[in-house]
Chains A and B, each alone.
Chain A
Amino acid sequence: MDLDLSESERAFRDEARAWLAANVPAEPLPSMDTEEGWRLHQEWEAMLAEARWAVVSWPEEYHGRGASLVEWVLFEEEYYRAGAPGRVSQNGIFLLSPILFGYGTQEQQDRFLPSMATGEQIWAQCWSEPEAGSDLASLKSTATRDDERGGWVLNGQKTWSSRATYAHWGFGLFRSDPEAQRHAGLTYFLFPLDADGVTVRPIAQLDGEAGFAEVFLDDVFVPDADVLGGVGDGWRVAMSTAGNERGLSLRSPGRFCAAADRLVALYRERPDARAADGVVDAWLRAHAYRLYTWGTVTRLADGGEMGAAGSVNKVFWSELDIALHETALDLLGPESELESTWLDGYTFSLSGPIYAGTNEVQRNIVAERILGLPREPKGAGR
Chain B
Amino acid sequence: MKFVLDDDHRAFASSLDSLLASADTVAVARAWADGEHEPGLRLWQRLAEQGVTALADEPVFLVVAFERLGYHAVPGPWVESVAYLGREDGIGTVAVPPHVPYALDADVTDRDDVGSRHRSVDRTRRLFEVSGEDEPDDEAFDRAVLAVSAQLLGLGERVLDDSVAYVKQRKQFGRQIGSYQAIKHALADVRIALDFARPLVLGAALEEVPASAAKVAAGDAAYRAARTGLQVHGAIGYTAEFDLSLWLTKIRALVTAWGTPAVHRARLLESLVDGGVR
Listed in ascending order, the chain A residues whose CB lies under 8 Å from chain B are 1-6, 9, 70, 264, 267-268, 271, 276-277, 279-281, 283-285, 287-289, 291-292, 294-295, 297-299, 302, 309, 312, 315-316, 360, 362-364, 366-368, 370-377
List of B residues within 8 angstroms of A374 by Cβ: 168, 175-176, 178-179
Residue of B nearest to A69 (CB): B1
Q: Provide the B173-186 mask, 1 if CB < 8 A to any CB of A, else 0.
A: 00110110101110
Judged by DSSP, the binding face of A is helix
Q: List 27 A-B contacts (CB under 8 A).
A: A1-B2, A6-B1, A70-B1, A264-B272, A268-B273, A276-B266, A276-B269, A277-B265, A281-B265, A284-B213, A284-B268, A285-B196, A287-B203, A287-B209, A288-B217, A291-B3, A291-B202, A297-B1, A298-B1, A315-B192, A316-B195, A360-B181, A364-B184, A364-B188, A367-B191, A372-B168, A373-B184
List of A residues within 8 angstroms of B5 by Cβ: 1
In whole angstroms, what is the CA distance A299 to B268 when docked? 30
B188 touches A294 (CB 8 A): no
* 199-249 of chain B: CB within 8 A of chain A: 199-200, 202-203, 206, 208-209, 213, 216-217
A288 touches B1 (CB 8 A): no
List of B residues within 8 angstroms of A298 by Cβ: 1-4
* 40-74 of chain B: CB within 8 A of chain A: 60
A295 touches B272 (CB 8 A): no
Looking at A289, A295, A364, the one whose CB has the most chain B CB atoms below 10 A away is: A295
Listed in ascending order, the chain B residues whose CB lies under 8 Å from chain A are 1-6, 9, 60, 160, 164, 167-168, 175-176, 178-179, 181, 183-185, 187-189, 191-192, 195-200, 202-203, 206, 208-209, 213, 216-217, 265-266, 268-269, 272-273, 277
Choose from B6, B167, B188, B199 the contact partner of A288 (Cβ within 8 Å). Answer: B199
Looking at B179, B192, B208, the one whose CB has the most chain A CB atoms below 10 A away is: B192
A3 touches B3 (CB 8 A): yes
List of A residues within 8 angstroms of B160 by Cβ: 371
List of A residues within 8 angstroms of B206 by Cβ: 1-3
In the A-B complex, the 8 residue pairs with the closest CB atoms: A291-B199, A367-B184, A366-B188, A294-B3, A363-B188, A373-B178, A374-B179, A288-B196
Choose from B3, B167, B192 the contact partner of A1 (Cβ within 8 Å). Answer: B3
B269 touches A291 (CB 8 A): no
List of A residues within 8 angstroms of B273 by Cβ: 264, 267-268, 271
A373 touches B3 (CB 8 A): no
A312 touches B164 (CB 8 A): no
List of B residues within 8 angstroms of A1 by Cβ: 2-6, 9, 60, 202, 206
How far in angstroms is the closest Cβ of chain B from A56? 16
B179 touches A373 (CB 8 A): yes
Residue of B nearest to A2 (CB): B2
In whole angstroms, what is the CA distance A366 to B200 when docked? 21
Looking at B4, B196, B197, B200, the one whose CB has the most chain A CB atoms below 10 A away is: B196
Looking at A276, A362, A374, the one whose CB has the most chain B CB atoms below 10 A away is: A374
- Known A276-B265, A289-B196, A291-B208; 5 more pairs at CB < 8 Å: A264-B273, A283-B272, A295-B3, A302-B4, A373-B187
